[in-house]
Structure 1
């Protein structure tokens, strides 16, 4: 995508949605899942992902579990109860935004 800035404001929502679908994920796994789902259209960099993960953790939406995998420590992120509720809120907010933008760019689209 030529304008990754459009996605930047949705990164937290993307992370929450993925973690809602999967019990827990580690950072690289999140980046690869997004790349897979979007067929390479969206590539999340570590420089964008980890600050977002840390922010969500600081807000109490995520908790971290450190596990030893292949003789390495790996941080897994999972939703807290508050994170699960925030996921619902963020997805509703994103849906409203998409509908609004669709109405703005397509006069034929009816805004309900």
Structure 2
């Protein structure tokens, strides 16, 4: 399992990508999909998921739809048109960040010896 510090900066991107791929999802479903897809390496807790979803909702990036299932009401989240644009922007930024991190952390950056 990865540290929450590593997850913190990428949770929004993960949620946006899942919503794009699945049209709409509810909170528990998002958690389970991340757990399954990551082979159990990423576990999202309610205390991280719902504040992120609420921020995305407040920012107009996602919308909600409440569906009654038996006696319960399930809240589904979906991307708005603004959210689709935002998803593309954050995916590009994340890709560039990972590439930069690769250069800094995982390559052998030996400099020429001092003369």
The TM tier, using the shorter chain, reads over 0.9
Give the number of equivalent residue pairs: 109
**How far, CA to CA, are the matches of 1:34 and 1:95 in structure 2?**
19
Residue 24 of structure 1 pairs with residue 24 of structure 2: yes
**How far, CA to CA, are the matches of 1:84 and 1:25 in structure 2?**
15
Unmatched 5+ stretches in structure 2: 110-115
Match of 1:69 in 2: 69
Unmatched 5+ stretches in structure 1: none
Task: Give the secondary-structure state (helix, strand or coil) at the position aligned to 1:43.
Answer: coil
Instruction: Return the offset for 1:43.
Output: 0.2
Query: CA offsets per residue over residues 52-88 of structure 1, 9 Å max, x none?
Result: 0000000000000000113210000000000001000
Task: Give the secondary-structure state (helix, strand or coil) at the position aligned to 2:20.
Answer: helix
Tell me how large the CA RMSD over aligned residues is.
1.3
**How far, CA to CA, are the matches of 1:5 and 1:28 in structure 2?**
21
The structure number with the bigger radius of gyration is 2
